[in-house]
Amino acid sequence: MLSAEEKKLIQSVWAKTQEDFGGEALCRMFVSCPQTKTYFPHFDLSPGSAQVKAHGKKVMNALSTAVKNVDNLSQALSELSNLHAYNLRVDPVNFKLLSQSLQVVLAVHLGKDYTPEVHSAFDKFLSAVAAVLSEKYR
Amino acid sequence: MVHWTAEEKQLITSVWGKVSVEECGAEALARLLIVYPWTQRFFDTFGNLSSPTAIIGNPKVRAHGKKVLTSFGDAIKNLDNLKATYAKLSELHCEKLHVDPENFRLLGDILIIVLAAHFTKDFTPACQATWQKLVGVVAHALAYKYH
């Protein structure tokens, strides 16, 4: 799984992120992968939507928790895991789609600081988060 | 056949016009091998792939990355005729190279991130969406002749 070096990289990159990145990632995902909008029929998805921004902040806060508890993701994200398994039931393929858009946002804001090593660590981390979120599905 | 709007074609060609095929290709392939190390299985003859630094500096990786992205340029020149353009390449990847088409999707996603890091805020959501569509269509065309 994640090496000590990778955990350090993730934490140092995370320190450079902003809450707004979440909304930006969601917006990009909705544009690139319109099928993901089917999970938000109750949202205003127009550009600049306050609901999308707010939801993006929620996502970023959850990821902050994950970053702080990277050694213990299952426990730290247990409630969220329940939520996704029993309430939201988002098909797990969508975690990969959001991960891609999140990484694009990181790359856009960090430019060359989104080095191959950081990219690799982050992709692994987001995969691990996705795995925890899907682990109670069946 | 895939339909491309005028806007999509514009977004593709304007980005492509500013891309260094050599640099971008090398970067994309290197990142593929770093982020998804199991993809190294296709490159046993490439020498030292033991670390990100080794991979990034590896001349065979750079050369092959350039080759791959040059071929991608052919796709961009033939957006309305992709399956035919890639028919032979598709057969090659199936019959000789034995590459799982999932790898085309992985490389496509990596390319998007390389472009995002390079163009930063100029890589707008519309740009990303168009390029995600493009890499998807290219991956599909490359897989089309598999049997």
Q: Which residues of A touch B (CB under 8 A)?
A: 27-28, 31-33, 100-101, 103-104, 107-112, 114, 116-117, 119-120, 123
Distance CA B63, CA B74 (A): 17
Per residue in B66-80, pLDDT (tens digit) is: 999 999 999 999 999
Q: Do B128 and A109 touch (CB under 8 A)?
A: no
The pLDDT assigned to A17 comes to 97
Residue B137's nearest CA partner among B66, B86, B68, B67 is B86
Per residue in B113-125, pLDDT (tens digit) is: 999 999 999 999 9
Distance from CA of A126 to the nearest CA of B (A): 12
CB-CB contact of B141 with B82 (8 Å):
yes
> What ipTM goes with this model?
0.84
Distance CA A106, CA B121 (A): 11
Helices B59-77 & B102-119 angle (0-180, nearest 10) = 90
pLDDT band of B1, cuts 50, 70, 90 = confident
Three-state SS for A115? Answer: coil
The pLDDT assigned to B61 comes to 98
Residue A106's nearest CA partner among B105, B15, B117 is B117
Q: Can you list the alpha helix ranges (DSSP code H) found in A16-115? A: 20-32, 50-68, 73-76, 78-82, 93-110
Distance CA B122, CA A126 (A): 25
Which domains does chain B possess? Answer: 6-143 (1.10.490.10)
Q: Do B113 and A114 touch (CB under 8 A)?
A: yes
Q: Do B120 and A31 touch (CB under 8 A)?
A: no
Distance CA A52, CA A62 (A): 15
B57 near A CB under 8 A: no
Distance CA A58, CA B57 (A): 40
CA dihedral defined by A39, A45, A51, A57, rounded to 10 degrees? 70
User: pTM for this structure?
Assistant: 0.91
Q: How many contacts (CB atoms, under 8 Å) link A and B?
A: 66
